[in-house]
Structure 1
Amino acid sequence: MAHHTYYPTRIRGLSVRDIRFPTSLQSDGSDAIHPDPDYSCAYVILYTDTDVKGHGLSFTIGRGNELVVAAVKSLAPVIVGRQLSDIYGDFAGTWRALTSESQMRWVGPEKGVLHLAVAALINALWDLWARCERKPLWKLLVDMEPEKLVSTIDFRYIEDVLTREEAIHMLKEMQPGKERREERMINRGYPAYTTGAGWLGYSQEKIEGLLKEYMAQGWRHFKIKVGQDLEDDKRRCKIVREIIGEDRTLMVDANQKWGVDQAIAWMKELAPYKPLWIEEPTSPDDVLGHATIAKALRPLGIGVATGEMCQNRVIFKQLLQAKAIDYCQIDACRLGGVNEILAVYLMAKKFHVPVCPHAGGVGLCEMVQHLQIWDYISVSASTKDRIVEYVAHLQEHFKHPRKVNHCHYLAPKVAGYSVEMWEESLLAYEFPYGSQWKKLFTEGKYKDPRTSPPPYVEHRLKGSITQR
């Protein structure tokens, strides 16, 4: 770790804020399981003993975001007050300290609300490290010696599939040609696909208009949501395939709607529209169910993709071992931040499964571009069968949003992890006191939680809870 005169030495404090955007009003993000998402994030700032700060976030879709905020506050003592040299000198140990805090881990471990909170903190720590080194995150990762990068990963529970020595060997094998691949990412970028026309709550007219608009911009890969109604899915897939033609790619996403047998039967009905993959066909925890679906659909030329809500590297290990996925979809916030994500990329490399990150949301596009660019330069050296999700909304709230040119993510040039938001946006959309939320409550578009009585009141003397 290089030391500069401006380099901070310790973390002196943090803030975490509940930021929410009212995306449900336009059905943005709607799917078969989540019809009314309000894209949100627990937004963390790490303060140091200099002016350098670390920004990180964890994505949610509205209610429940306050739980992640509370979990971040509970985990804060693990890192606040610590020296940066201790944190980054044993980053795997820091990660384990957060995920294995002796009492907090009981409400995990390494899953759910607690892991989302870990991700927000870890993402902020990586942003801080990259800022200290004056590099965008992808460049920080690319420039690390293989031994140093691998030292940031906690291999507990996955050493039966991938050892430290194997991971180091993989990275060393890919050293030749890194400069050429880096130049390509800077000049051309990484290929993307769009979900922007595919939300389930959109009307046929809106879908058709958006598809034509995206095609005019050069997009060749499109994903739509499915899973609520079979006949409607067939109708929508037929419309999309007719508009985009046979030479462009269609993917479909059920967002965990089906059981195993239902997924197989439903996708056989959609097979004539030639989807490249079915994403999240069933429960994200059902490894063997995914394997059964994948085996049944491969003869039809349909792959299985999952990972958006895959809770940790252990589930990914099993999905890969069981040949249950054809496309590995990491999420920058569902896993416990960059450290754990690096482990999944390296396991996917060993099993020859392409990684195609889930994005969209709040800040996910900004983050996954760094990860996938690192993968191309340092791990896979290929964009074959690999593509990154792209959704255009909410980027105006970020100081350095992702840049897409000719349907490719361009390698970020600004130091950090690209998730710093404008203070004006934070003030406007902090829930429930931000100016935009006050306006929506006044207009009656949302129920005001500050004045609405809770459905339950506690009778402290009786020690019971009674419904109103």
Structure 2
Amino acid sequence: MTKTIIKLTVRDVRFPTSLEQHGSDAMHTDPDYSVAYVVIETDQGMQGYGLTFTVGRGTEIVVCAVEALSALVVGKSLEEIVSDFRGFYRLLTSDGQMRWIGPEKGVIQLATAAVLNAVWDLWARSEGKPLWKLLVEMDPRKLISCIDFRYITDALTEEEALDLLLKAQTGKQQRVDQMLKEGYPAYTTSCAWLGYSDQLLKQLCTDALNDGWTKFKVKVGADLKDDIRRCSLIRQMIGAHNTLMIDANQRWDVGEAITWVTRLAEYKPLWIEEPTSPDDILGHAAISKALAPLGIGVATGEQCHNRVMFKQFLQASALQFVQIDSCRLGSVNENLAVLLMAHKFKVPVCPHAGGVGLCELVQHLILFDYISVSAKYNNDPIIISFGYSCEMLESSVQTHQYPQGQVWKKLQ
């Protein structure tokens, strides 16, 4: 039965996480974790949910951008969209006037991701599947048709991408069974936000160890002496056998990054994440080259990058780890392109998540990557329902909707 989209709504939902320094890092010292939350409705009563993550002020700008895109969505049927998803993607990203404020970057990319992810959620729900299963079971040729290869064919052609997917068909069911039984491993940042006291850090780290966590990420970049003290403390607590990563959230210049991380090398971090400007591809390459003898990799990918920038990161050998972010990187369509390029260039993919809904979304992408692309297992079982795991509790949305929600009225 045809499902025509008859309505698109978007709401500004914010959580006052800055009050207790949750999510704080060297560049974002007072984040209020937030989303632009999109719901699309069809004439058959079915809904699709999408969101894009923000950190407070500015969410209202993303909401305006979503509203500007809504005219391109309402009135189309789901069947029409998925029969030419690449065309629909280009409709949103290449509108003759709207693209001027992008293209495919910044606010317009965040807004586009929220809309496209709502469509993916609707598609998966209409099939009665979680998104990862929709992707895994999709004919490889159909999946390739959902990706826009424009601007990246010098790095990955459609034919190459199809060949990668076809080669990964072997053993796919065994990997599905493994994931359903074991889940996929993850790391935690929750115990080491930059604004946390040592007492809280120790308590949260102890709790995480007791819960079975083995990989820990620490925020760094504001003060070198403090970073040395905190990294020493974390390393002592987790022991030499567990994994430590560090994240500067774009704080440093290139030379500063090399000097700073060299001072932290004794704590054996697996990677330094976002050491400099997210747009500085050559800078990341220089940092990567300088830190390689220390055994420290460079990771990035969360900050509104697109497939074109990832192409250049990979071609420049600037990364040892590609991070995918379920909505700041872009839509499912964009993430699919990045996963395939990373596999071709033999760079491992690490899911990046932290914020409203991101952990729920990114698990779909990493399951697809492991099962249908890389077959590389980089643990607790996860539970995923139908769709793209974007639906929020309506009670939470109403309570935290900005500025009229109950939480924000109390803070005014």
- The TM-score range, normalised by the shorter chain, is over 0.9
Tell me how far 1:295 sits from its aligned partner: 0.3
1:344 aligns with 2:338: yes
1:425 aligned partner: 396
Task: Specify the alignment match of 1:408 in structure 2.
Answer: 380
Q: Is the 8 A contact 1:427 1:434 kept in 2?
A: yes
Q: Contact between 1:349 and 1:379, CA under 8 Å: does it hold in 2?
A: yes
Letter in structure 2 aligned against 1:163: T
- CA distance in structure 1 between the partners assigned to 2:309 and 2:52 by the alignment: 20
1:369 to 363, 366, 378: 363
What is residue 12 of structure 1 aligned with on the other side? 6
**The structure with more helix, counted as a fraction of residues:** 2
| Aligned position for 2:93 | 99
Write the letter of the residue equivalent to 1:75.
Answer: L
After TM superposition, the structure 1 = structure 2 runs for residues 25-104 of structure 1, keeping only pairs within 5 Å, are 25-104=19-98
Structure 2 Cα separation of the partners of residues 104 and 310 of structure 1:
17
| Counterpart AA for 2:402 | F
Letter in 2 for 1:337: S
Kindly state the Cα deviation for residue 9 of structure 1 after the two structures are TM-superposed: 2.1
Aligned to 1:307: 301
Q: Name the % identity.
A: 60
- Give the structure 2 partner of residue 439 of structure 1: 410
Q: Deviations over 1:3-32 (max 9, x none)?
A: xxxx44211111000000000011000000
Structure 1 residues 181-239: Cα deviation after superposition (integer angstroms, max 9, x where no partner): 00111110000110011100000111111111111111110001000000100000001
Q: Which has the larger radius of gyration?
A: 1
Instruction: Label 1:321 to 1:409 Cα distance change in 2 as closer, same or farther (>3 A).
Output: farther
Q: Matched residues in 2 for 1:336 and 1:113: separation? A: 11
For 2:257, the equivalent position in structure 1 comes to: 263
Contact 2:181 2:381 in 1 (8 A): no
Provide TM-score, normalisation by structure 1. 0.87
Determine if the alignment matches structure 1 residue 236 to structure 2 residue 230. Answer: yes
1:381 alignment partner in structure 2: 375
Provide the C-alpha distance between the structure 1 equivalents of 2:202 and 2:307, rounded to a whole number of angstroms.
38
Q: Is the Cα–Cα contact under 8 Å of residues 185 and 411 in structure 1 kept in the other structure?
A: no
Deviation, 1:379, is 0.5
In structure 2, what residue type is equivalent to 1:440? L
Q: Which residue of 2 aligns with 1:289?
A: 283
What amino acid is the match of 1:439?
Answer: K
Give the SS at the match of 1:250. strand
Q: Does 1:123 align with 2:117?
A: yes
Q: Which of the residues 163, 166, 174 maps onto 2:168?
A: 174
Measure the CA separation in 2 of the matches of 1:415 and 1:267. 42
Cα pair distance change 1:328/1:272, threshold 3 Å: same
| Counterpart residue identity of residue 410, structure 1 | I
Task: Quickly say closer, same or farther: Cα 1:219–1:372, change in 2 above 3 A.
Answer: same
C-alpha distance 210-322 of structure 1, shift in aligned 2 (>3 A): same
Once residues 27 and 225 of structure 1 are traced to their aligned partners in structure 2, the CA distance between those partners, rounded to angstroms, is 12
In the TM superposition, what whole-angstrom CA distance separates every residue of 1:359-378 from its partner, at most 9, and x where no partner exists?
01110001000000011110
* Structure having greater relative contact order (Cα 8 Å, sep ≥ 6): 2
Question: What residue identity is the alignment partner of 1:105?
Answer: R
Alpha carbons 2:110, 2:304 under 8 Å: kept? no
Contact 1:198 1:224 (8 Å CA) reproduced:
yes
Structure 1 residue identity aligned to 2:364: H
Q: Secondary structure at the match of 1:191?
A: coil
For the 8 Å contact 2:7–2:41, the answer to whether it is kept is: yes
**Residue deviations 1:105-143, cap 9 Å, x none?**
101111000000000001100000000000000000000
* Counterpart residue type for residue 315 of structure 2: Q
Q: Deviations over 1:407-429 (max 9, x none)?
A: 435252x2101111111111111
Distance in 2, Cα, partners of 1:338 & 1:83: 19
Give the Cα–Cα distance (whole angstroms) in 2 for the partners of residues 317 and 433 of structure 1.
42
Aligned match for 1:360, one of 349, 354, 360? 354
Q: Number of residues paired by the alignment?
A: 412
Residue matched to 1:397? none
**1-structure distance, mates of 2:262, 2:330:** 35
1:188 aligned onto 2:182: yes
Aligned-partner Cα distance in 2 for 1:161–1:310: 20
In structure 2, do the counterparts of structure 1 residues 310 and 294 end up closer, same or farther at CA, with 3 Å as the change threshold?
A: farther
Q: For 1:9 and 1:209, how far apart are their aligned partners in 2?
A: 50
Q: CA RMSD in A?
A: 0.9
For the Cα contact (< 8 Å) 2:304–2:330, is it kept in 1?
no
Matched-pair contact (CA < 8 Å) for 1:71–1:113 = yes
Secondary structure in structure 1 of the residue aligned to 2:341: helix
Specify every segment of 5 or more residues in structure 2 that has no aligned partner in the other structure, as ranges: none
Compute the displacement of 1:382 (Å). 1.4
Question: Does the CA-based 8 Å contact 1:43-1:58 persist in structure 2?
Answer: yes
How far apart, in 2, do the equivalents of 1:201 and 1:83 lie?
47
Deviation at 1:310, TM superposition (A): 4.2
> Do the aligned residues in 1 keep the contact of 2:33 with 2:54 (CA within 8 Å)?
yes
**Structure 1 position 320 matched with structure 2 position 314:** yes
Q: Secondary structure at the match of 1:24?
A: helix
Q: Which secondary structure does the structure 2 equivalent of 1:35 belong to?
A: coil
CA distances 1:132-170 after superposition (whole Å, capped 9, x unpaired): 000000000000010000000000000111111111111
| CA–CA distance in structure 2, aligned partners of residues 55 and 137 of structure 1 | 12
Flag structure 1 segments of 5+ consecutive residues without an equivalent.
1-6, 387-406, 442-468
With normalisation by structure 2, the TM-score equals 0.99
C-alpha distance in structure 1 between counterparts of 2:357 and 2:124, whole Å: 17
| Structure 1 ranges of 4+ moved more than 3 A | none
Rounded Cα–Cα distance in structure 2 between residues aligned with 1:411 and 1:427:
25
**Which residue identity is paired with 1:361?**
G
